[in-house]
Chains A and B, each alone.
Chain A
Amino acid sequence: MSAWLEIKDLSAKVGEKEILKGLSLSVGKGEIHVLMGPNGSGKSTLSNVLCGDPMYEVTGGSVTFKGKDLLAESIEERACDGIFMAFQRPVEIPGVTMTTFMKYALNARRRAAGLSEMDAVSFIKRLKIRAKAFDISEEMLKRPVNVGFSGGEKKRMENLQMAVLEPDFCILDEMDAGLDVDAVKVAGAGVQIMRGPERTFFVISHNIGFLREQIKPDFVHILVGGRVVANGGTELMDEVEKNGFSRFYKEA
């Protein structure tokens, strides 16, 4: 029996550059995991490989998700299976409103699940309730996807999409990075609202205060050089806060 999400000896490269070098990780349902590690250690790469970004070529290892071979699925199949990534730098899509975008996405997922599409009225209701929770105005929902949004607004929008689409495996890549003090305070809102026994989170961050106060993880993993070099609980965050990653470099 493999775990809910089981990553085994995963290797991946970009062009000729090997980034993930035999990475293993077991994750259960309803858990909150934090990924820490020095810049360039492969945290974002791991996230993107799990989502199926064609930029990366998987060269070895396996990933099973809910008992299925994740690596055999297309990007959208994985998304419809419940994988969601809150991007560090979400891309702009001119001319497509956030509302339209989310409606299309939600309905694509519903179709994949064999459900009927959600009608406009029900969708708007669902959207508005959630927008409120992230302090997103109706005006913002009418603006094109990520165009002209501030860093903080973009992060709120990623949170909102997560709340609207209700995925069960959420990856948050540096949700708090580059935000001002006030924006950081609400960056963890998505996790706080959505955490529960049915949903798992991967949270990537360097900000220990943010992790401790807003994320409150169950597990912490340290990545160095494309491998997981330590698994533990919040005590690993305390250690990183005090000593940085020096001990883990040695282990890598």
Chain B
Amino acid sequence: MAEEKLSVRDAVSDTYKYGFTTNVASETAPKGLSEDVIRFISAKKNEPDWLTEFRLKAYRHWLTMAEPHWGMIAYDPIDYQDIYYYSAPKTATAPKKLEDVDPELLKTYDKLGVPLQERAALAGVAVDAVFDSVSVATTFREKLAEKGIVFCSISEAVQLHPDLVRRFLGSVVPYTDNFFACLNAAVFSDGTFVYIPKGVRCPMELSTYFRINAQKTGQFERTLIIADDDSYVSYLEGCTAPQRDENQLHAAIVEIVVMNNAEVKYSTVQNWYPGDKNGKGGIYNFVTKRGLCKGVNAKLSWTQVETGSALTWKYPSCVLAGDNSRGEFYSVAITNNYQQADTGTKMIHLGRGTTSTIVSKGISAGHSQNTYRGLVRMGKGAENARNFSQCDSLLIGGSCGAHTLPNMVSANPTASVEHEATTSKISDEQLYYCRQRGLSAEESVSLIVNGFCKDVMQKLPMEFAIEATRLVAVSLEGSVG
């Protein structure tokens, strides 16, 4: 009898299971990484053969590489076979309404002043439930298309602009570059593609669209930006509100190509889940960002405000190949609780008269570890090239660490490299002074920290800067007693 009952139940659940499995089987690749999985991803995206080959080559090379461990970050080994490398947007598991979203997350949005209609999108509510997002995105794209600007997902670009993608994909960050970049080349899910034609100044900050699509770009994001001769674009990545994300490992690539007299400003606010107060959970963020200033007078400016992730391993870099090209790196990295950040930049001066500026502000609180790691390399041809670096660390409390590891290499005697570094603490006198005026301890810390970061915050586009200021306050919550 018992046996019969069981089989009836099995039969019932099987229909469910099969119905469900069929559905899932077509949307999700099996766990782990293999050539089959990569072919599956490529097929799902309907990719041309050259791209499938690109992915497979990367995968085969990745198998020969070892995970790097030179960063000042400690973590349990990552099991790469225990990760899903492809799954379609999980509409079924996403909250349907704003009311279904974790109230804690909503409280944070409130503190950050995120507009109501954007909160749903950030919290991962199914897109069709989000206020007007689709039409906003469409109007936005039409306006850009008038100028010949291409701004779309990289998957779309592969279909619509295969020549551009094929020419530039991997041209700045080759798949052989490093372990995580190689993994990304094999499995990248989606990301953004931007092409600014010759002589065009992009009339708006490229950000809104990205926001709306944010929950679709997965953990292996890939971004490619090409600024043709005499063009200009300001690109904003991410947003200041924390995003709902179950993926722990993130390995993204951003590649930028800047042609003659063109300028690209790339601003990031990274606020992935940092883990809880005790260091449990949180995103591992291993990112390779690099721009090639290919043309003369090309200019690339990275501005980043990093407050999220349990681990950050990220060095947005500039290869200054074109004569008189210029690279800039403005960074704020805040770590609290048990976060670990190893971040900085590389300025590779190849052309004559190339210049670069590095301004890094590291803030450590709680039990966190915050490392600035930089490289300034003056190549043989870097005649009269100049670099200036300023690296400041601010400590809050006595249990955190700040480390500054600048590295300078010069093969050209006419090139000059200047480096300044400071380490300071928020003093009891400063806190007392602010509180005596009526500010709470937390408001005081956030005001002092924002003052400390001012030089970098000023580089952010206006609206972003206001949000980032609020973000500083949120990310330092609980850092003073």
Contacts and interface: CB of A to CB of B under 8 A. Distances in A.
Interface of A: 51-55, 74-76, 79-80, 84-85, 87, 90-96, 100-102, 104-106, 108-109, 112, 144-145, 161, 165
Given A52-B435, A91-B429, A106-B438, 6 more contacts: A79-B438, A91-B427, A96-B447, A104-B447, A108-B437, A165-B437
Contacts of A53: 432
Given A54-B428, A75-B432, A96-B447, A105 B438 contact: yes
B91 interface: no
Nearest to A76: B435
B453 A95 contact: yes
B438 A165 contact: yes
B452 A108 contact: no
A147 to B, nearest CB: 10
A91 B443 contact: no
B117 interface: no
A48 B355 CA distance: 50
A112 to B, nearest CB: 7
A145 B455 CA distance: 16
B94 interface: no
Given A95-B450, A95-B451, A96-B448, A104 B429 contact: no
A157 to B, nearest CB: 12
A56 to B, nearest CB: 11
A53 B433 CA distance: 9
B454 interface: yes
A82 B26 CA distance: 67
B436 interface: yes
Contacts of B450: 95-96
Contacts of A102: 437
Contact of A108 (B428, B433, B438, B455): B438
B439 interface: yes
B454 A51 contact: no
The 10 closest A-B pairs by CB, nearest first: A95-B451, A96-B451, A105-B437, A95-B454, A75-B435, A79-B438, A108-B438, A109-B438, A91-B429, A91-B433
11 contacts: A55-B428, A76-B438, A76-B439, A79-B436, A91-B430, A92-B430, A93-B430, A95-B454, A108-B439, A108-B440, A165-B437
A54 B436 CA distance: 11
A102 B440 CA distance: 14
Contacts of B437: 79, 84, 101-102, 105, 108, 161, 165
A85 B436 contact: yes
Nearest to A79: B438
A249 to B, nearest CB: 32
A165 B438 CA distance: 9
Contacts of A87: 433
Contacts of B443: 104, 108
Contact of A54 (B432, B434, B438): B432
Nearest to A109: B438
Q: Quick one: which of B427, B437, B440, B447 has the most chain A CB within 10 A?
A: B437
A95 B439 CA distance: 17
Given A95-B452, A95-B454, A144-B451, A90 B433 contact: yes
A79 B439 CA distance: 9
B361 to A, nearest CB: 10
Contact of B438 (A80, A92, A93, A95): A80
B438 A74 contact: no
Contact of A76 (B427, B440, B447, B452): B440
B213 to A, nearest CB: 34
Contacts of B453: 95
A88 to B, nearest CB: 12
Q: Quick one: which of A80, A84, A93, A94 has the most chain B CB within 10 A?
A: A93
A76 B4 CA distance: 73
A165 B436 CA distance: 11
B438 A94 contact: no
A96 B448 CA distance: 7
Contacts of A52: 435
Interface string B435-477: 1111111010001101111110000000000000000000000
A161 B448 CA distance: 18
B428 A93 contact: no
Interface string B416-428: 0000000000011
Contacts of B438: 76, 79-80, 105-106, 108-109, 112, 165
Nearest to B433: A91
Given A55-B428, A75-B435, A101-B447, A94 B452 contact: yes
B440 to A, nearest CB: 5
Nearest to B444: A76
B464 to A, nearest CB: 18
A93 B448 contact: yes
